[in-house]
Chain A
Amino acid sequence: MAHDAVATETTGPGYAPGLRGIATDWSADKQTFHVPWGKAMMWIFLLSDTFIFSCFLTGYMNVRSSTRVQWPNPSEVFALSFGGDPIPLILIAIMTFILITSSGTMAMAVNMGYRGDRAKTASLMLITAAFGAMFVGMQAFEWTKLIIDEGVRPWSNPMGAPQFGAVFFMITGFHGAHVSIGVIYLVTVAMKVLRGDYEKRGYEIVEITGLYWHFVDLVWVFIFAFFYLW
């Protein structure tokens, strides 16, 4: 018991490496995670949100494997043709590329935030938001094409199992709502950054916003893999 819980009171925040560090953090009388409250809370929220998306995707897999009607082939459904032959998954590839790129600009915004460069931080965040808005716009285009041209509805679809439309609109819609909320969140924080609201409190909020944004991107990778590639 040489190294008991109380001893850490005098040694300050423990940055011991590895498992010992974790044990020190969890047994000490200080913040369990060396991060601001808002960031800790965002992590816990994202953990909860992960369970929401996991349930959606698990439900989708269950529905897809239990339906007795043919599941439409995503390569054909999500193909676009530019003049000539249809190119499978081209739109979704562009959308994915845009969303991943937005994660890059977000990471740069976080970096600029910690350097205290207000103008660059805000503009990078606004660029990220613009990428997000483009993503949502292209999703709207995809929805329109499916609904108007292909006749897919949440309750039916001419290509096979009615659950295809149901799951597609529900999951991409829920994800699209996350992206839209993220865009609003980014714009709000960017405006406050520009106004200088965080000069005193620090720019952790940019990183917290970034956590949410990267999470939304990461979820998209899973939706992409399970819905479009399967």
Chain B
Amino acid sequence: MAYVAIADRDHHLHDPQTFITKYIYSQDHKVIAIQYGLTAIFVGLIAMALSVLMRLQLGFPETFSVITPEEYYQYVTLHGMIMVIYLLTALFLGGFGNYLIPLMCGSRDMVFPFMNMLSFWVYLLSVLILLSSFFVPGGPTGAGWTLYPPQAIAPGTPGIGAGIVLMLLSLAVFIVAFTMGGLNYVTTVLQARCKGMTLMRMPLSIWGIFVATILGLLAFPALLVAAIMMLLDQAIGTSFFLPSMLTMGEESVQSGGSPILFQHLFWFFGHPEVYIVALPAFGMVSDVLATHARKNIFGYRMMVWAIVAIGALSFIVWAHHMYVSGMNPYFGFFFATTTLIIAVPTALKVYNWVLTLWKGDLHLTVPMLFAIGFIFTFTHGGLTGLFLGNVTVDLPLSDTYFVVGHFHMVMGVSPVLVLFAAIYHWYPKMTGRMYNEMLGRWHFWLTLLGTYSIYLPMHYLGFLGVPRRYYANGVTDFMPDSVQNANAGITIAALVVAATTLIFVFNMIWSLFRGEKADGNPWGGTTLEWQTPQTPPVHGNWGDKLPEVHRWAYDFSVPGEKQDFIPQTEPPHEGVVAGREHGVHH
């Protein structure tokens, strides 16, 4: 086993001596993961605060009009961009990817720890560049999170000066950070697994993170190129994306560019981005469900292949975001078809989650509640996706609140519920303490019911034709009074959910100091991270000897066993009908 022995080679590990090398400039994947996670949650809370300000304006335009129309657009933009990229992508891959890959694969660290550390610091730089745009003349860009040209850099939009430049720079820097981290994640999964850990024995969390990282490495280039082109358009007057037009009564200087080119580049990144966020969520929720249902995940192989298939398909569906862009109508036919095909592996995953729960020994812990909540929100968000994937149904719904409702259900609430599930699930391992159960339950129920009260009415608003991204609706013929009432209700629910998130933050901080001490494997988990000699795991993860894996990750409730789980490290033994793992006979 010459090759596995390489994973045990320890000269890549630095030996931290001082406080600074241990906790600040640390090369330990676990510290980097927590740095990523805390930074991501911090910007996420800022984005949440922005959404509260927007909701106050929409819900009570007379009483709580604290922001101007320009600020409204800027907050729409920043809320979207921060949530999608700087929170979800960074937390799933930079945070959980970093924490879980070496632990679940049985490695001592990432393959290149120094580059991994650099990844975090460059990410932090991109966050600082982004936030600095609040303090420049003209403020941050108000182009909407998709940054469509020409309006993103044409007069009339807020922040067409320094604001959009900083946004594009920040994205470019983020992509550099992501690439450095992502190369590490992929190489670690492929090359540094411990003995016995075949790819088909990896927990689904790792599969999701692994495939999502590959998607990121192939999709972010399109965003980088689009950002560079728009930066040139804005800063030195090229016209990649700017057609000749009349703005504010004057003929534009730049002409001959193609705005649709930007949309193609953006969505060639933007659609895989949905799955960059969703696939790790799919993986992690599978592990949480199986562990707390004390049952093997239903159809492990199908789950793996579904992740791979969704990842591959996600590269050929991008133009379903562009049905109303004026592109060739025949494209609509092609992209509607591929979009509906992607529903097949996705539905397969949902069925398998439900079948995993079927007749399971359900432990309704907080992470389990969030995971089950995810199945609901994801199914609802996915079903409305079928509406929007069809060209003829999409046309009237485009740019209405139906899109906002769909998108937030499927890509806002669903991944965030998984993030909460994952944080609660791995909190005892990360900190060595238990969270407060009661606060966790309040957090779950208020979040689930609250988000439903926010987004379900939005679908109704969309059917009425209420347009999205409007600062105020004013008086129109087609909007009944109920629209304003619904908006007020949505705002109240949003305030409740925002306050609930503070309960979560409080719970995490309070439990860090006052929580009960947790033992190393509180849930009876089978995967490697629950088998570390210390909790929280120390530098190098495994003590003297690397773990050895003898079975898949889902040996729960095996008949004839004393315990209702068998850790992956346990060798096969006599007299037990073990090995439900396909293709392997013990």
Residues in A lying within 8 Å of B, measured CB to CB: 1, 4-6, 9, 12-13, 26-34, 37-38, 40-41, 44-45, 47-49, 51-52, 54-56, 59, 62-63, 66-69, 154-155, 161-163, 165-167, 170, 174
Contacts and interface: CB of A to CB of B under 8 A. Distances in A.
B256 A67 contact: yes
Given A5-B583, A163-B239, A29 B190 contact: no
B111 A41 contact: yes
B359 interface: no
A170 B193 contact: no
B156 interface: no
A40 to B, nearest CB: 5
A38 B549 CA distance: 25
B199 A32 contact: yes
B48 interface: no
A4 B585 contact: yes
B258 to A, nearest CB: 5
Contact of B3 (A30, A52, A54, A165): A30
Contact of A63 (B3, B193, B201, B240): B240
Contact of B200 (A5, A34, A44): A5
Interface centre among A28, A51, A62, by most B CB within 10 Å?
A51
A1 B6 contact: no
A163 B584 contact: no
B221 A52 contact: yes
B238 interface: yes
A41 B112 contact: yes
Contacts of B90: none
Interface of B: 1-4, 6, 111-112, 179, 182-184, 186-187, 190-201, 217-222, 224-226, 228-229, 232, 236-240, 254-258, 261, 264-265, 268, 549, 583-585
B238 A166 contact: yes
A41 B193 CA distance: 15
Contacts of A28: 198
A37 B187 contact: yes
15 contacts: A5-B198, A9-B1, A12-B2, A28-B198, A29-B196, A32-B199, A40-B187, A41-B187, A49-B221, A51-B217, A59-B225, A63-B257, A68-B256, A154-B237, A155-B238
A37 B188 CA distance: 8
A68 B190 CA distance: 48
A9 B195 contact: yes
Contacts of B225: 52, 55-56, 59
Contact of B256 (A13, A26, A47, A161): A161
Contact of A48 (B217, B257, B583): B217
A29 B4 contact: yes
B585 A170 contact: no
A63 B258 contact: yes
Nearest to A38: B112
Q: Which 4 A-B pairs have the closest CB atoms?
A: A166-B238, A51-B221, A30-B3, A55-B225
Given A45-B183, A68-B256, A166-B232, A29 B195 contact: yes
Contact of A32 (B4, B190, B201): B190
Contact of B191 (A12, A26, A37, A68): A37
A32 B254 CA distance: 51
A40 B232 CA distance: 34
Contacts of B218: 47-48, 51
Given A62-B264, A163-B240, 6 more contacts: A27-B199, A55-B221, A55-B225, A59-B225, A154-B237, A161-B256
A37 B112 contact: yes
A63 to B, nearest CB: 6
Contact of A59 (B240, B584, B585): B240
Contacts of B258: 62-63, 66
A33 B222 contact: no
B191 A27 contact: no
Contacts of B196: 6, 9, 29
B221 A31 contact: no
A31 B3 contact: yes
A220 B255 CA distance: 29
A40 B190 contact: yes
A67 B239 CA distance: 10
B238 A6 contact: no
Contacts of A56: 225
Contacts of B194: 29
A66 B256 CA distance: 8
A66 B218 CA distance: 26
Nearest to B213: A44
Given A41-B111, A162-B256, A1 B585 contact: yes
A162 B112 CA distance: 44
Contact of A26 (B179, B199, B219): B199
A82 to B, nearest CB: 33
Contacts of A166: 232, 238-240
Nearest to B218: A51
A38, A56, A167: which has the most chain B beta carbons within 10 Å? A56
A33 B190 contact: yes
B325 to A, nearest CB: 14
Nearest to B256: A67
Given A27-B199, A47-B217, A155 B256 contact: no
Nearest to A7: B584
Contacts of A155: 236-239, 254
Contacts of A4: 583-585
Nearest to B186: A44
A154 B199 contact: no
A34 B3 contact: yes
Given A26-B199, A37-B111, A154-B236, A13 B265 contact: no
Contact of A37 (B192, B224, B265, B268): B192
Nearest to A10: B1
B544 to A, nearest CB: 20
A166 B241 CA distance: 11
A174 B227 CA distance: 14
B221 A170 contact: no
Indicate the member of B6, B187, B200 with the most A CB atoms within 10 Å: B187
A67 to B, nearest CB: 5
